[in-house]
Amino acid sequence: MQIQETKAIQVTDLTVAYRETPVLWDIDLDVPPGVLLSIVGPNGAGKTTLIKAILGLVRPAAGNVLIYNKPYAVQRKIVGYVPQRGSVDWDFPTNVLDVVMMGRYGALGWVRRPGKQDRELAMHAIEKVGMEKYTTRQISQLSGGQQQRVFIARALVQDATIYLMDEPFQGVDATTERAIIALLQELRENGKTVVVVHHDLQTVTDYFDWVMLLNIRRIASGPVEDTFTADNLRETYGGRIAFIKNK
Amino acid sequence: MITENINLLTAIIAIVTASACALPGVFLVLRRMTLMSDAISHAILPGIVLAFFLTHSVSSPLLIVAATATGILTVVFVELLQKTKLVKEDAAIGLTFPALFSIGVILISRYSKNIHLDIDAVLLGELAYAPLNQLDINGREIGPVALYVMGFMFVLNVTFILVFYKELKLVTFDASLAATLGFAPTLIHYGLMALVSMTTVGAFDAVGSILVVALIVGPPATAYLMTDSLTRMLILSVIIGSINALSGYWLSIFLNVSIAGTIASVTLLVFVLVFLIVPNRGLVSIARRHIRQKWEFAQTMLVIHLFNHEGLPEAQEESEIAHLHEHLRWEPSFALRVVKNALNNRYVLQEASQLMLTERGRAKAQRALVQ
């Protein structure tokens, strides 16, 4: 008998359906600790739904999700979530520091107010994403890339073990994208597990060490060099990919 | 003396009612759910009528309980309809509240011989009578019922917001994150809806079911234009609500017209005023910014035009002030004003009938071209 290594995330037989239409079909996914994994697939492949199912935001029709061998409900505090930037109203009357501070709310629990220490942690996370000049800026006055950095700072301040990020590069300029990826790689060096929904196939091999190819079913998952192959991509995208630089 | 006392009491009731309504209104505005207050304020009618049948009293606490329950039922119905995805939210609201409201109307008309509820009072309320309905304890009158009810609602709303400020903010801004962090967004949502229902039924007597919507939506929508902070938006809403109530009440006495109607009109008027004149976001400052940008942009075009032809054979012809409007296809009067502005800003110098770029003007052109 082989001793099983503890998985950071273990998804087994996960099916999510809206009415009778399956959005995710019998997904199995093992994410070992300390990898930087991208979830890749065409529009409507169920990438966001998979993230939401892991976080318990959508109810699966079948299957199970474990975070370090335990259900999400008892592991909330070790999971940080970066939703899609478009999922919130940026005209909300609040500033950068305030939004980043929301990342501390989970640790605080009900009713308790954030204090000096939470503020310091938030400031530290804001510095990490290079937004220290904008702490009191109203959030609607930020560019898309700045908003994305605020969201990442909010997840960083949770000091999680696992980070789930839904399209953190959406609408972000090239400089910011490189800054964010450097940050994610630093998280991985510190033993964190980072899962990113990603759109740009060109950068998968440069940015990530693991990849999951998804199109309602799981096509493949594993280290990029074994998994990110022309055959797997063709299966994921249904032959619509004309070229892909293959390692 | 007695009338003065009544005037003062009415004003205080108006202010307390407006303040209590404005607080939950802030979250309705931010959650884009203001229509729900309209729905709730109408749909609680059958709850009130049924509770009245049971207790035969308009001031029984059971009325508030029943109305709150009907209010929450409204929210549940709307959300159930919406979840089928066959009906959008606005249609779901439009279907639900008239259905419930009409049940109330039918009940009132069927049993109207026996009860003192009438439709006019329900729709419009009557603030003027509010001070007369005194709370009676052991035969002693200790003040108007409406003041106690709305005072209690104000304290309850303030307490709820103070205690759950962090949760309300998070759920309103980012419900998904709230859910993943373990703050039940549904619970907060229904807590808020319960407050809206209770506040509405409390304000019912005084201002009726239509104008209460103005008190819930108006001040927060006005405050939203004035600040970037949620705390300040809450405080401003209460202040604006109070000012509207007081000035509306005073105006209604002066004009001898409906109190609630005047307060609602003042609410709208104040909103429009703020909408026009508030710095940065108001229509007036937007228009002024556009005008400034227009002149600024015209000067940039002028210096780029001069810069592009500088030192070339055609430069003399291109920088002739009298011909500028032809080259740039501007109205002659507009061109002259742009030239005047550019001279004042020392972007250009006039030499005889020609314009020459200054160092400053050249730098401006280069800067604009690099961008």
Does some domain include residue B345? yes
Distance CA B260, CA B215 (A): 10
pLDDT of residue B354 exceeding 70, the answer is yes
Q: List all residues 6 or more positions away from A55 whose beta carbon is below 8 Å from its beta carbon.
A: A72, A79, A81, A164, B176, B179, B180
CATH code of the domain covering residue B139? 1.10.3470.10
Does some domain include residue B262? no
Does some domain include residue B274? no
- Does one domain contain both B189 and B289? no
pLDDT the model gives residue A245: 47
Q: How far is CA B200 from the centre of its chain?
A: 17
- Does one domain contain both B239 and B313? no
Does some domain include residue B121? yes
Q: Looking at B195, B212, B244, which one is the last position of a domain?
A: B244
pLDDT the model gives residue A1: 47
Which residues share a beta bridge with A212?
A39, A221
Residue A18 zone, left/alpha/beta (φ > 0; ψ -120 to 50; rest): beta
pLDDT tens-digit readout, B307-335: 888 888 888 778 888 888 888 888 888 88
> A231 CA to chain B: closest CA distance, Å?
36
Q: Looking at the 3D structure of chain B, how many domains does it have? A: 2
- Residues B319 and B304 sit within 8 Å (Cβ to Cβ): no
pLDDT tens-digit readout, B79-130: 899 888 888 888 999 999 999 999 988 988 887 666 666 666 667 777 877 8
Does some domain include residue B264? no
- Does one domain contain both B229 and B317? no
pLDDT the model gives residue A241: 58
pLDDT the model gives residue B195: 93
Give contacts of B181 with chain A, Cβ < 8 Å: 76, 105-106
Average pLDDT over residues B341-349: 89
Q: What is the pTM of this model?
A: 0.85
Q: Show the domain range for B348.
A: 285-370
- Does one domain contain both B120 and B61? yes
> A50 CA to chain B: closest CA distance, Å?
14
Closest residue on chain A to B29 (Cα): A92
Give contacts of A83 with chain B, Cβ < 8 Å: 174, 176-177
Q: Residues 153..192 of B with a Cβ closer than 8 Å to A: which?
A: 163-167, 169-170, 172-174, 176-177, 179-183
Placement of tokens 């070339």 in the chain: B312
Average pLDDT over residues B340-355: 87
- Does one domain contain both B224 and B357? no
Does some domain include residue B349? yes
Q: Which of B364, B339, B363 is nearest to B349 (CA)?
A: B339
CATH code of the domain covering residue B302? 1.10.10.10
pLDDT tens-digit readout, B133-159: 888 778 888 888 889 989 999 999 999
Placement of tokens 């003041």 in the chain: B147
> A175 CA to chain B: closest CA distance, Å?
17
- Residues A97 and A136 sit within 8 Å (Cβ to Cβ): yes
Distance CA B313, CA A130 (A): 50
Does some domain include residue B280? no
- Does one domain contain both B236 and B293? no
pLDDT tens-digit readout, B175-185: 999 999 999 99
- Does one domain contain both B63 and B196? yes
Average pLDDT over residues B255-275: 92
pLDDT the model gives residue B141: 81
> A238 CA to chain B: closest CA distance, Å?
31
- If one compares B3 and A171, the residue with the highest pLDDT of the two is A171
Which uninterrupted H or E stretch holds A18?
Answer: strand A9-18
pLDDT the model gives residue A246: 46
- Does one domain contain both B229 and B297? no
Q: Which of B319, B317, B311, B313 is nearest to B347 (CA)?
A: B319
Contact A105 B166 (CB under 8 A): yes
Residues of A with CB under 8 A from a CB of B: 52, 55-57, 73, 76, 79, 81, 83, 87-89, 92-95, 99, 102, 105-106, 108, 110-114, 138, 154
Q: Which of B360, B353, B45, B37 is nearest to B213 (CA)?
A: B37
User: Residue B273: how many CB atoms within 10 A of its CB?
Assistant: 12
- Residues A35 and A193 sit within 8 Å (Cβ to Cβ): yes
Which uninterrupted H or E stretch holds A83?
Answer: none
- Does one domain contain both B67 and B180? yes
Does some domain include residue B45? yes
- Does one domain contain both B238 and B157? yes
- Does one domain contain both B328 and B204? no
pLDDT of residue B203 exceeding 90, the answer is no
Intervals of chain A under pLDDT 50? 1, 245-247
What ipTM did this prediction achieve?
0.90
- Does one domain contain both B235 and B313? no
Q: Looking at B213, B244, B275, which one is the last position of a domain?
A: B244
Residue A136 token pair: 């009191």
Contact B180 A89 (CB under 8 A): no
A-B contacts at Cβ under 8 angstroms? 72
pLDDT the model gives residue B119: 66
Placement of tokens 């949770």 in the chain: A158
Residue B28 token pair: 């309705």
Distance CA A158, CA A156 (A): 5
Q: Which of A88, A112, A119, A138 is nearest to B230 (CA)?
A: A138
Contact A83 B166 (CB under 8 A): no
Q: Looking at B188, B217, B244, which one is the last position of a domain?
A: B244
pLDDT the model gives residue B157: 97
Q: Read out DSSP for A153-204?
A: HHHHTTT-SEEEEE-TTTT--HHHHHHHHHHHHHHHHTT-EEEEE---GGGH
